C-alpha cells in the first residue's frame, strides 16, 4: 500500500552492526506493527503500538527495539544484528472498524517490506 512506506527497501549489513528500519504512514492510523517473515514460517509479530505512547512486545521481540516518534512513524532497531535476523520485514498500520456484530475488527495495511541480510 503506497500510504505505508518503508526505508530502506533492501539492506545488507554485518554481524554486530546496529540497524534501523523506518516506517511512515499517511493513513492517519493510530495502530502500527512490525512483522518479520522467514521462508515457510508466515509472518511473526515483533512489536506493536496502539497509539503514540503505547509499545508492546510481540512473539519475537528479543534482539529488537522500537520507537514510536509520532503517530505516523514507527521505527524498528536491531541493536546488534546477527545472521538469523536475516528476513523480510514488514510494517503495517490498522484502522479499527465497527462490524455487523457490534464489536470491532482491524483492517491492516502493509508496507512494501524491507529485505535485510546480515552477513
Partner 1 sequence: LAKTTQPISMDSYEGQEVNITCSHNNIATNDYITWYQQFPSQGPRFIIQGYKTKVTNEVASLFIPADRKSSTLSLPRVSLSDTAVYYCLLDSGNTPLVFGKGTRLSVIA
Which residues would be at the binding site for partner 1 (CB under 8 A)? 1, 33, 35, 40-45, 48, 56, 58, 88, 90, 92, 96, 99-101, 103-113, 115
Q: How many whole angstroms separate alpha carbon 2 and alpha carbon 110?
A: 9
**Shortest spacing between CB 7 and partner 1, in angstroms:** 15
**Shortest spacing between CB 18 and partner 1, in angstroms:** 25
**Shortest spacing between CB 84 and partner 1, in angstroms:** 19
Q: What angle do CA 105, 2, 32 make, to 5 degrees?
A: 40
Task: Say whether 85 sits in a helix, a strand or coil.
Answer: helix
Closer residue to partner 1, CB minimum distance, 35 or 78: 35
**Shortest spacing between CB 64 and partner 1, in angstroms:** 15
Closer residue to partner 1, CB minimum distance, 19 or 92: 92
Which DSSP string do the residues of 8-76 spell out, in sequence order? -SEEEE-TT--EEEEEEE-S--SEEEEEEE-TTS-EEEEEEESSTT--EE-TT-TTEEEEEEETTEEEE
Closer residue to partner 1, CB minimum distance, 17 or 71: 71
Amino acid at each position: 500500500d503506497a500510504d505505508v512506506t518503508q526505508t530502506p527497501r533492501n539492506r545488507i549489513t554485518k554481524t554486530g552492526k546496529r540497524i534501523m528500519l523506518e516506517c511512515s504512514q499517511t493513513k492517519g492510523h493510530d495502530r502500527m506493527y512490525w512483522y518479520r517473515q522467514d521462508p515457510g514460517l508466515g509472518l511473526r509479530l515483533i512489536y506493536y503500538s496502539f497509539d503514540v505512547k503505547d509499545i508492546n512486545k510481540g512473539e519475537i521481540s528479543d534482539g529488537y527495539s522500537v520507537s514510536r516518534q509520532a503517530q505516523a512513524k514507527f521505527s524498528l532497531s536491531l541493536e546488534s544484528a546477527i545472521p538469523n535476523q536475516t528476513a523480510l520485514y514488514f510494517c503495517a498500520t490498522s484502522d479499527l472498524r465497527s462490524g455487523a456484530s457490534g464489536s470491532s475488527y482491524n483492517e491492516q495495511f502493509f508496507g512494501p517490506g524491507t529485505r535485510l541480510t546480515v552477513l
